[in-house]
A and B are shown apart, each in its own frame.
Chain A
C-alpha cells in the first residue's frame, strides 16, 4: 500500500490500516505470482503441446464420413494438383476439412484465452465466457442482426455480436456483484445463467415468429464448425488477433491482480485500465468466435484449469498455454463427434458440454469455494 500523505498523527494508524495488510502479503511479495508454484517437473510436457496440436490437425483433415489416408492428406496439402492425385480427395481436404480445422483451432484458441483472462480478472475459478452469459449476449446480437434486421452478412453481424457480448458481460458483472460480499463465484455464475435464459427466451421469441430464421438459428446455435468458407475466417481473423494480443498483454497485470486489489494498487497497477483492457479482450475473442461457430460452452472453463496444473498460476505462461491447448480440446471433440455416430455427426458443442459439465461438477464438489 502506498503511504498516504494525509495520514493522521504518528502512532494513530489510518482507519483502514488493518485491512490493507493481510497476512498473506509478505510471502506473496517474496514469491511473485508468475513463479508462485513452479513445477519444473511438469513443464516440459508443455513442449509436446504444439506437436499434439499438429497431429490433431492432421487427424482432423483425415477423419470423417470418408476416411483419407495421411499420405494423401499431406500430398493434397503440400502438392496440390500434382499428377496422379485424386481431385475429390483434394477438394475434401483443401476446402471442407481445412476450413473446418482452422475454424476449430481459432475458436478453441479464442475461447481458451477468453476463459483464462476471465478467471484471472474475476479471480473466479468458475469463469467461462459461456457460463457467464457473454456467449449468450453475442448470440443474441447475431440473431437480432440476422433475424428482424435482415443483416445476414458476417461483417455486420460481427459488430452486433461484439455489442451483445459487451452488454451481457456488463449486466452479468453488475448483477453478480450486487449485495454484500461483492462478486462471489456463485453469484456471478447465477447472474450468468439468469442473463443467458433471458436472452435465450428473447431469441426463441424471434425465431418462433420467423421460420427461416429458426432454420438458420437452430444449426448455428448448436455450435457447429461446419458450413464456413475461407472468407468468413479472414473477416474474423483480425478481430481474433487483436483480442489475443490484448489478452496476452494483460498477463503481467493479471498476475498483480491475483494478489488482491490492494496489493495490485500498491504495485502501481491501474485497476480500471486493466479491467477495461481485459474486458475488451474477452469481448473481442468471445464475440468473434460466437459469430463464427455459435456458442460453445465449458472450453474456456476446463482448459485454464488443466493448464494451471502444469504451468502453475502465473498468467505469462498460462495464457499462451491455454491458447495452445484449447484448440487441441476442440479438435479432439470435433473428431470424436465425427467418429462416434458415423455417418451422422455430433456437434462439437454437445461433446464439449458433456465433457465439460462433469468436470465443472467435479470442480465444484472438490473445491472449497467461497460461500455467498
Chain B
C-alpha cells in the first residue's frame, strides 16, 4: 500500500499514513491487555455484587440485568440498593489509586514511590484522627477532613520541594519527611484519646469499604472524570520526563509545569480515593508495576494501572467479605497482607540490575 508505511519492532508497531498526515506507535500488547483488564474488573465487579455482603446469593447471569433494573424485583433491590454502592466505591477507588500510583512512579522515576509512601495518605490520616478526637467523626466530616488533609499534604510537599524548580528525588524525600511528621502526630493523637476513639481511628487508617455508599462514590467519580483528561493528555510528555529532566527539556517538554500538573492531579486522585475508603495500602504501589509487566511497556501505563487497581480492590474486598464467617475483614488488611508477597517479589527481582531501578 503506497499511503501506509509500517515499521515493526519487538513490542511495538509504528505506522505513518500519507493522505491524512497521521503517524503513531501502537503497542499491540497494551491494546490487548488494557481491555482484558477492564473486562476482568467488570467481572469481579459483578461477582462482588452477586456474592457480596449478606447471604442473599445471586446467580451471575441474574446480576447484569439487575444492574439495569430488569429481572426479579428482589434481585434488583439487593443489587442496586445494597451492593452496587459499595462495589462502585471499590471500583472507583481502585482506579484512582492505580492511576495516582502510575503518575507518581513515573514522575519520580521510582517504582516504590506512591501517594501512600509520600505523606499524602498520612496527611489524610492525621487530619481524620484529629477530627475523630475533636468529635468531627461523622461520615461526611471524616470524608471532608481526609480530602483536606491529603490535598494539604500534597501542596505542602510540592511547595517545600520547590527550590528554583523541583526534582523527582527532592519530592520523594520531602514527602517522606512530611509523612513521618503526620505519622507521629497520628500515633500521638491515638495515645491521647479514649480507647473506642482509638479503635475508630485505627479502623479508618486500615482502609475499609464498610458502610460506604453513593455519598462516597459520587465525589470520587466526579474527581476521576475531571482529573483523568489532563493526566491522559500529558501522557506523552510524562514519558519524556522518565528520561531525566535534561533530556526531557531537550525534547521540548516544559519540565516544571508538566511535573506540577501531573503531581497535583495524582495527589488529588489519591486524596479523593483516600477520603472515600481510607488508605488502602499497596494498591497504588503494586498496580502500576503489575500493569507495566502485563502490558510490556517501559513506563507504568495509567489506564491499565487504573483497571488493575480496580481488580485488586474489588478482589480484596470480596476476599475480605468471605474470609471469616462472622466478620468482614477490612479490604486494607487484605491488600496489606497481599503487599508482603509483592515486596518479596520486588526483592526477588533485585539481582536483575538495571531493570527499572
In the complex where A186-B110, A194-B343 touch, is A179 in contact with B180 (Cβ < 8 A)? no
In the complex where A171-B343, A353-B181 touch, is A205 in contact with B337 (Cβ < 8 A)? yes
Cα A214 to Cα B173 with chains together (Å): 31
Is B191's CB under 8 angstroms from A214's CB?
Answer: no
Cα A125 to Cα B332 with chains together (Å): 33
Pick the residue among A178, A189, A197, A354 that contacts B173 (CB under 8 A): A189
Is A357's CB under 8 angstroms from B177's CB?
Answer: yes
Q: Is there a chain A Cβ closer than 8 Å to B61's Cβ?
A: no
Q: Is there a chain A Cβ closer than 8 Å to B203's Cβ?
A: yes
Is A347's CB under 8 angstroms from B336's CB?
Answer: no
Give the nearest-CB partner of B329 in chain A: A205
In the complex where A187-B357, A198-B340, A205-B337 touch, is A214 in contact with B170 (Cβ < 8 A)? no
Is B188's CB under 8 angstroms from A130's CB?
Answer: no
Q: Is there a chain B Cβ closer than 8 Å to A190's Cβ?
A: yes
Q: Is there a chain B Cβ closer than 8 Å to A221's Cβ?
A: yes
Interface size on A, residues (CB 8 A): 57
Contacts of B128-175 to chain A: CB distance below 8 A: 160-161, 163, 167-170, 172-174
Is B173's CB under 8 angstroms from A179's CB?
Answer: no
Is B177's CB under 8 angstroms from A360's CB?
Answer: yes
Given the complex, which residues of B lie within 8 Å of A151, measured CB to CB?
A: none
Give the nearest-CB partner of A175 in chain B: B347
A270 to chain B, nearest CB (A): 23
Give the nearest-CB partner of B285 in chain A: A194
In the complex where A178-B349, A198-B340 touch, is A187 in contact with B110 (Cβ < 8 A)? yes
In the complex where A131-B180, A297-B180 touch, is A178 in contact with B350 (Cβ < 8 A)? yes
Is A197's CB under 8 angstroms from B191's CB?
Answer: no
Interface size on B, residues (CB 8 A): 58
In the complex where A175-B350, A202-B336, A350-B188 touch, is A186 in contact with B357 (Cβ < 8 A)? no
Q: Is there a chain B Cβ closer than 8 Å to A322's Cβ?
A: no
Q: Is there a chain B Cβ closer than 8 Å to A309's Cβ?
A: no
Interface string of A166-178 (1 = CB under 8 A from B): 0000010011011
Pick the residue among A191, A201, A214 that contacts B339 (CB under 8 A): A201
Is B332's CB under 8 angstroms from A201's CB?
Answer: yes
Cα A218 to Cα B347 with chains together (Å): 31
Give the nearest-CB partner of A178 in chain B: B350
Pick the residue among B184, B205, B355 that contacts A223 (CB under 8 A): B184
In the complex where A175-B350, A186-B169 touch, is A222 in contact with B180 (Cβ < 8 A)? no
Given the complex, which residues of A lie within 8 Å of B202, measured CB to CB?
A: 204, 207-208, 214
Q: With contacts A186-B172, A211-B195, A222-B190 known, what are 10 further pairs, Cβ within 8 A? A: A131-B180, A180-B354, A190-B110, A198-B336, A204-B205, A222-B188, A223-B187, A353-B184, A353-B185, A369-B169
Interface pairs (21), CB distance under 8 Å: A178-B357, A179-B357, A180-B357, A193-B112, A198-B282, A204-B202, A204-B206, A205-B336, A208-B202, A218-B191, A221-B187, A223-B187, A349-B187, A350-B185, A350-B188, A353-B181, A356-B180, A364-B177, A369-B173, A371-B167, A372-B110
5 nearest A-B pairs in the assembled complex, by CB-CB distance: A179-B357, A201-B336, A178-B350, A353-B184, A222-B191
B residues lining the A interface (CB < 8 Å):
109-110, 112-113, 116-117, 160-161, 163, 167-170, 172-174, 176-181, 183-185, 187-188, 190-192, 195, 198-199, 202-203, 205-206, 281-282, 285, 330, 332-333, 336-337, 339-340, 343, 346-347, 349-351, 353-357
